[in-house]
Structure 1
Amino acid sequence: MTPPPHRHRFRQLALLPALALLLQAQTTPPSPADIYGPLFAAVQEARVFPDGKTFADAVPREDPQAILAAYRREKPRDKAALAAFVRRHFAVRGEDTQAKPPLRARIRELWPVLGRAPFAATPGSSALGLDSGYVVPGDRFQEIYYWDSYFTMLGLKADGQAPLVEAMIANFGDLIERYGHIPNGTRSYYLSRSQPPFFALMLDLSDDRDPALAKRRLAALIREHHYWMAGATCLDAGGACQHVVRMPDGSLLNRYWDARDTPRDESWREDRETAAKAAPRATTIVQRDLRAAAESGWDFSSRWLADPMRLETIHTTDIVPIDLNSLLWITENRIATRARALGDAATADRFEGLATRRKAAIDRYLWVAGERRFADWDRMARRATPSRSAAELFPLFAGHASREQARAVAATTRATLLGEGGLRTTGIRSGQQWDSPNGWAPLQWIAVEGLGRYGEQPLAKDIARRWVATVARTYAETGKLLEKYDVEERKPGGGGEYPTQDGFGWTNGVTAAMLERWPDLGAETPR
């Protein structure tokens, strides 16, 4: 019987060991350590995966040389950055085994996951009871937050969740009636401050036309406006009290402020440490400025820092911010419109006058004609701050910018804030989460709506396209919708006091609203 051919080969190799070794060297493929070299070593030494075999078995999503070139270019330094890099470029066992629903479908699936039932407050708990259902942002944020909720509600409306939109509006109206304002979030430790006032815009999302309810909502809007303007009655020689600032010509604008000057309950240790670094500045001043930045929603950002690289130089209460004053202009106009619809001409006239005076003050102090931009204003330095941020798009969103101002802001946005994956928050890399390279869902929407209002539709849609692609790409890689994103590298965002959160209410809402407006954005394959 003739032996099979492979037996002859084995006999020959046994007789010729040197030739066998040569053939083996020529045919054995390189191991992952051979292929990926420094990347492989970095991942294993950082223990990105508890089991070293996990990365050794990972499947590349693209050519290994392209992956190594990206590694050399990005230079991920820490474990979190390495983990994000690996998940972008490799399919990892146990993380890619289940098919993900399309992004739009996943957002719809998450509404009931993030939804919560009404509840009564428990003695000793920080949670404030609510009488209607609501949606939370997700992850560590298991209560409703004021300005987050507006952007969440955009998605709820797009997805046909009108009853839940009405329930959330009812909760916010009730909070105003109970506390005189909408707190930062529904915890007792948030009651000393609010957040950017979007209640007037929330009411625009409602389809309810009951006259009695309209009257109650108008009363709530007026009461909220009073909360922001209460400091007008106690202005002293320093020119500021509570949320109100007297400008050099005597006009009144607003700032972020907090009624307490102690460390925040939710960041007690961090605030004490920051205040200690700020000596000889008074601890109470620093702590109030930290709280005021939390009220802004931009906690934290170089917008509020004298030295953009040092959090302890925070001086939020010295700054008259463009976003807050644009939102209060909206509030004053909505009050006037609602009052006139209810036949209250005196109230309508009064608030129209307030809005007119606010716009004049904004144009005088917060528009920098020589630089063709809107800006925050430093009341101590008595000039506009140098900070360039996405906040300067709020006048376009509100609708009080002139056509010339809008064209200038559009050009600035295109030149300085547009990243590969969406709109940058600022142009400064400070390590704070409300700075570059991060982009945030609410600011994408503010930009898209504002630019669209003034006929800058190509730029508006381009921002939306870049943002949706970033969200879709990260979702494809991680299965998550995140609080913030790095819009330069199109990956999960970083910085801040806590890890990037998953959920995520306002990302879901803004992305759903954009896809509802431009369904073709969802057809693009994430790159």
Structure 2
Amino acid sequence: MVAAGLALALLSAVAAAQTTAAISAPAAPAATARAYPASPAELFGALFDQVQRRRLFPDGKTFADATPKRSPAAIMADYASAGALDDAGLRAFVLANFDVPEPGRTPLPSAARPPLAEHIRALWPQLTRPPLSPPPGSSALALPHRYVVPGGRFREMYYWDSYFTMLGLEADGQQPLTRDMIENFVSLVERYGHVPNGTRTYYVSRSQPPFLYLMMGLVRDVDRATQTRWLDALLAEHRFWIEQRSATMPDGARLQHYGDGKSTPRDESYREDVATGRGDPRVYQDLRAGAESGWDYSSRWFADGRTLPTIDTTRIVPADLNSLLYGMERAIAARCRALARPCAATFERAATTRQRAIERWLWSERDGRYGDYDLAAARLRAGVTAATVYPLFTEVASRSRGARVAQTIERDLLAANGLRTTAAGTGQQWDKPNGWAPLQWIAVEGLRRYGAERVARQIGTRFLATVEREYRASGKLLEKYDVEESRAGGGGEYPTQDGFGWTNGVTRALQQRYGREGR
């Protein structure tokens, strides 16, 4: 269990911050950073570098997920004595010393094409994995309970993906599986102080958009001991974002940004990062921060608005992250009240302070949108993105601003087949013409909460129709879709994956919302 002292220290820190009417890092020294488990790049150094640079496997994630057959020290000693190896020799060495995963298996489509809802219900068992106790040297993290993977190359549990997957699990009566996944996330916070991006050692130095409090909100009838443990996990996660991801706004207010605890190429995209960063640790850290955002990659994070090498994610204060942290602070306050813990007022003040800072610094009156604040340029980044709807989703926005956001979305982001991710076409997967299931749900829910039901319905039903058309054509549910042409999405560092956890979840939730269960 997260120590009670940790929770008390956090409460003191947040209370101190409120004396200056800002969300600040704690005045007391930060808690000692937890050591990250060694990643494959760190364990296998020169061997890992050569395997990835020489593209021994088409997907860089393959070797990052391989399991050594004996100790890393013994493998590296033999590698050092082997001398120069050509590609064939290197491959032979790797296959002799590692169990290499097969390409990600995805559920086979049925030629019979049952109704989509029925097909998704049949997918859950295929995407569910048992509790995991990984073998020595594996990059996998231990998980005490069952969990759902996205599918394809994604063989592990991911943070923000899982909330949207859970929406479908709840729709299909899989509440015990939702509960198991939440318990896994709580166990990760207890071990690492935050929820990692995914359940691999190479993901632990970063997190993802903080949806844990929303996952917990899906579950009812939780006993007091569990509620206490879950609250302690949220307090620890909040502390992580406050202590390790804070930025100072021009008026002294503190908001949060995406980041990463390392500044080296990502293990799972090593070759790509080396090519982009060309040895610059700053670029590597900003690439990692972009991965923490979940939007890897998007024009949102590019200094020139167009090209990946100009990425500067850590210099950006984003609307989505800070809206979610506002929601987290409100949820913590409510849980403190429910458990009669002396922290409700502190987190209510923290949420109010954050709301004021968001409304001051992340709103464009001229454009009628929320956006991302560029710390270097001291202004909002240009361009409307789907992140503008997050302040509606967590109810940060005033009613009048919510109405303007609805107009902006309808004008600039609503496509014939769903919600565009941005209005910029860069070839990156988190830009137009792609639409992603999680953003469709955030938009539908956010707009509905502000009375913009017509636009919400257009987004939800158009995206559902896109998913249904692709399913009828190929039998697949995809990671992302081109919502301008109603086809598979493109861009990114790997081919479009099918499976697919969060698309399954959002599709089932939208089917329930809009009465399309039989499609």
TM-score higher than 0.5: yes
User: 1:292 — aligned with what?
Assistant: 289
SS in 2 for 1:245: strand
User: 1:137 — aligned with what?
Assistant: 150
**Cα distance in 2 for residues equivalent to 1:500 and 1:413:** 26
User: 2:29 — aligned with what?
Assistant: none
Give yes or no for contact 2:111–2:475 (8 Å, CA) kept in 1: no
Q: Give the counterpart of 1:194 among 191, 207, 211.
A: 207
**Cα distance in 2 for residues equivalent to 1:256 and 1:309:** 20
**Cα distance in 2 for residues equivalent to 1:97 and 1:478:** 9
1:420 aligned onto 2:416: yes
Q: Give the counterpart of 2:188 among 167, 175, 184.
A: 175
Could you list the runs of 5+ residues in structure 2 that have no partner in the other structure? 1-107
User: 1:405 — aligned with what?
Assistant: 401
Q: Give the counterpart of 2:327 among 320, 327, 330.
A: 330
Shift of 1:477: 0.7
**Cα distance in 2 for residues equivalent to 1:257 and 1:217:** 24
1:274 aligned onto 2:271: no
Distance change in 2, residues 1:212/1:355 (3 Å)? same
Q: Percent identity?
A: 57
**Cα distance in 2 for residues equivalent to 1:319 and 1:254:** 9
SS in 2 for 1:371: coil
Q: Give the counterpart of 2:345 among 345, 349, 352.
A: 349
**Cα distance in 2 for residues equivalent to 1:442 and 1:139:** 18
Q: Following superposition, which runs of at least 4 residues in structure 1 exceed 4 angstroms of deviation? A: none
**Cα distance in 1 for residues equivalent to 2:251 and 2:305:** 29
User: 1:364 — aligned with what?
Assistant: 360
**Cα distance in 2 for residues equivalent to 1:405 and 1:98:** 48
Could you list the runs of 5+ residues in structure 1 that have no partner in the other structure? 1-94, 231-241, 277-281
For 1:218, give the aligned amino acid: L
**Cα distance in 1 for residues equivalent to 2:212 and 2:110:** 43
For 1:137, give the aligned amino acid: P
Shift of 1:400: 1.3
Give the count of matched residue pairs. Answer: 412
Q: What do the CA deviations read for 1:337-385 (whole angstroms, capped 9, x no partner)?
A: 00011112x3111111111110010011001112211110001100000
1:390 aligned onto 2:386: yes
1:164 aligned onto 2:181: no
User: 2:225 — aligned with what?
Assistant: 212
Q: Matches of residues 61-210 of structure 1 in structure 2 within 5 Å?
A: 98-210=111-223
Shift of 1:309: 2.6
Shift of 1:151: 0.1
For 1:329, give the aligned amino acid: Y
1:439 aligned onto 2:435: yes
Relative to the length of structure 2, the TM-score reads 0.78
| RCO higher in structure (CA 8 A, sep ≥6) | 2
SS in 2 for 1:370: coil
Relative to the length of structure 1, the TM-score reads 0.77
Q: Which has the larger share of helix? A: 1
Give yes or no for contact 1:256–1:296 (8 Å, CA) kept in 2: yes
For 1:364, give the aligned amino acid: R
User: 1:62 — aligned with what?
Assistant: none
Give yes or no for contact 2:110–2:475 (8 Å, CA) kept in 1: no
Shift of 1:520: 3.8
**Cα distance in 2 for residues equivalent to 1:187 and 1:457:** 40
Q: Matches of residues 232-251 of structure 1 in structure 2 within 5 Å?
A: 242-251=244-253
Give yes or no for contact 2:115–2:518 (8 Å, CA) kept in 1: no
For 1:115, give the aligned amino acid: T
**Cα distance in 1 for residues equivalent to 2:302 and 2:109:** 42
Q: What do the CA deviations read for 1:46-80 (whole angstroms, capped 9, x no partner)?
A: xxxxxxxxxxxxxxxxxxxxxxxxxxxxxxxxxxx
SS in 1 for 2:141: coil
Give yes or no for contact 1:465–1:521 (8 Å, CA) kept in 2: no
For 1:101, give the aligned amino acid: P
User: 1:512 — aligned with what?
Assistant: 508
Distance change in 2, residues 1:521/1:460 (3 Å)? farther
**Cα distance in 2 for residues equivalent to 1:343 and 1:96:** 51
User: 2:3 — aligned with what?
Assistant: none
**507-516 vs 364-373, greater mean Cα deviation:** 364-373
Distance change in 2, residues 1:97/1:105 (3 Å)? closer
Shift of 1:307: 2.0
Q: What do the CA deviations read for 1:178-235 (whole angstroms, capped 9, x no partner)?
A: 11100000000000000000000000001133011111110100000001011xxxxx
Shift of 1:98: 2.5
**Cα distance in 2 for residues equivalent to 1:379 and 1:136:** 36
**Cα distance in 2 for residues equivalent to 1:521 and 1:155:** 12
**Cα distance in 2 for residues equivalent to 1:361 and 1:165:** 34
Distance change in 2, residues 1:520/1:111 (3 Å)? closer
User: 2:68 — aligned with what?
Assistant: none
User: 1:28 — aligned with what?
Assistant: none
SS in 2 for 1:260: coil
1:491 aligned onto 2:487: yes
For 2:293, give the aligned amino acid: S
**Cα distance in 2 for residues equivalent to 1:394 and 1:357:** 17
**Cα distance in 2 for residues equivalent to 1:500 and 1:514:** 22
Q: Give the counterpart of 2:259 among 252, 257, 264.
A: 257
User: 2:5 — aligned with what?
Assistant: none
Shift of 1:521: 7.3
**Cα distance in 2 for residues equivalent to 1:415 and 1:522:** 31
Give yes or no for contact 1:302–1:387 (8 Å, CA) kept in 2: no
Question: RMSD between aligned alpha carbons?
Answer: 1.3
For 2:422, give the aligned amino acid: T
